[in-house]
Chains A and B, each alone.
Chain A
């Protein structure tokens, strides 16, 4: 339980911060696409007897770079590239799974998450990756926010926008696979998108929006893990439903005009 909460907080933090850049770049489904393609990697790992998360990291990073390259080289929208990759990952995964003898409990834990079973090694891995990625984001904060806000102006200011774009998808690829253990492949984009879309509705500056998003994500993850432990339900479902409840409550507050009054 303790390891689950520590890992969950780290993943919530990471997904909120990385997810805000993805949402603002209209890359909301990117997490989904990379997670689904990592399904192929997980299946490959299980088939050849390698720890599935390592193959998932490899495949998801390759997929993230492919999406970016396709968007840059060909006249295909980001949405379409994401859809192609999403289906390819699942298709490859399904074939590999059927070759390896069908669905096992291992596969289900990757599909739906298994944070309550997280090992000490994995907790250390999650904490180190979270720390490293957040340091990179802090160091390159201006470049990241500027190129997300307006690519053209960022280029004029001498920011290496293309390199930054690759860095963001690289970071997002690692974040996705790291987070699979918490909510699973099927619900991963909820962690990237819902806290950020909710936080943006409060119409605050960038840093405050990140803090609001982190608060919602951490609250949902910790409460979701505790609820799942107490009521013996799946943590991923509880976490995502809590996020959706906060989102719906924010929509309600927004419709009363309270947020606009507070920010005026």
Chain B
């Protein structure tokens, strides 16, 4: 059974199509990289998958269950947003943040997930005092706390230094390979997606490509089309501003 099945997904904002008839599936234990230029619909796609946006056409299923019919599937998902917004002085420790992700708090499990993301020694520090890279590792730990089968990450390394980014990617690989967690990562970093993901979905409102990573990254024609689309979107955004 597929972990995720998306059929004919279409989303409109003010009669403008943001996602247009997108269909693809994710198998269990896949590491899917979702790439696409700014405004391609990646965040909207995640909003639909996470049940935050319900005004869409088509169908999204997790482990064969239509997500419109039950929110139970959310128990199977850990989500790491782009850059979580929180008050810098919010008086909450790393351990307390991870505990928030658990329906039934379990201190041993908190220790385990903090060790998994190599941040155990910081468990009593206030989250706002950590670097961006360390904060994102805390949010992975929080996402993992309730034993999800799928981890969804929306451009999680934006604004994070190179060394922290590499640590972050090593953790994702470990979770996917050794803990059998299905990972869905949206990113602008094609090199990282090429190294990490076994499957790629290239989105630009419609689904531009979906398949094995090598097929995409070894196909010069597809890469050229992708960079042209990215450039067009970049110019479009620049003109708008």
Q: Is A24 an interface residue (CB 8 A)?
A: yes
Q: In this complex, which of B89, B91, B96 has the most chain A Cβ atoms within 10 angstroms of its Cβ? A: B91
Q: Is A101 an interface residue (CB 8 A)?
A: no
Q: Nearest Cβ in chain A — how far from B143, in angstroms?
A: 9
Chain A residues with CB below 8 A from B86, complex form: 149-150
CB neighbours (8 Å) of A205 from chain B are: 91-93, 95-96, 124, 126
Q: Interface residues of A toward B: which range?
A: 20 to 34
Taking CB atoms, residues of chain A closer than 8 Å to B91 are: 24, 199-200, 203-206, 208-209
Asked if B92 contacts A149 (CB within 8 A), the reply is yes
Rounded to whole Å, the gap between the CB of B51 and the closest CB of chain A is: 7
How many A-B Cβ pairs are below 8 Å? 61
Q: Is B235 an interface residue (CB 8 A)?
A: no
State whether the Cβ of A49 lies closer than 8 Å to any Cβ in chain B. Answer: no
Give complex CA distance A68, B85 in Å.
Answer: 21
Contacts of B77 in A (CB 8 A): 156
Q: A200-B89, A205-B96, A263-B126 are in contact. Are A155 and B84 (CB under 8 A)?
A: no
Which residues of B are found within 8 Å of A153, using beta-carbon distances?
A: 79, 81, 84
Cβ–Cβ contact B52 & A155, under 8 A: yes
A26, A157, A203: the one contacting B129 at CB < 8 Å is A203
User: Any chain B CB within 8 A of the CB of A146?
Assistant: yes
Q: Cβ of B74: which chain A residues have Cβ within 8 Å of it?
A: 156-158
A244 within 8 Å of B (CB atoms): no
- A156 near B97 with CB under 8 A, answer no
Q: Which residue of chain A has its CB nearest to the CB of B72?
A: A158
Minimum Cβ distance to chain B for residue A90 (Å) = 30
In the complex, what residues of A have CB within 8 A of residue B87's CB? Answer: 24, 26
27 inter-chain pairs at a CB distance below 8 angstroms, sorted by A residue, are: A24-B87, A24-B90, A24-B91, A26-B87, A146-B100, A149-B86, A149-B92, A149-B100, A150-B84, A150-B86, A152-B84, A156-B50, A156-B79, A158-B71, A199-B91, A203-B126, A203-B129, A204-B91, A204-B126, A205-B95, A205-B96, A205-B126, A206-B91, A206-B92, A206-B93, A206-B96, A208-B91
B residues contacting A by CB (< 8 A) are 50-52, 71, 74-75, 77, 79, 81, 84-87, 89-93, 95-97, 99-101, 124, 126, 129
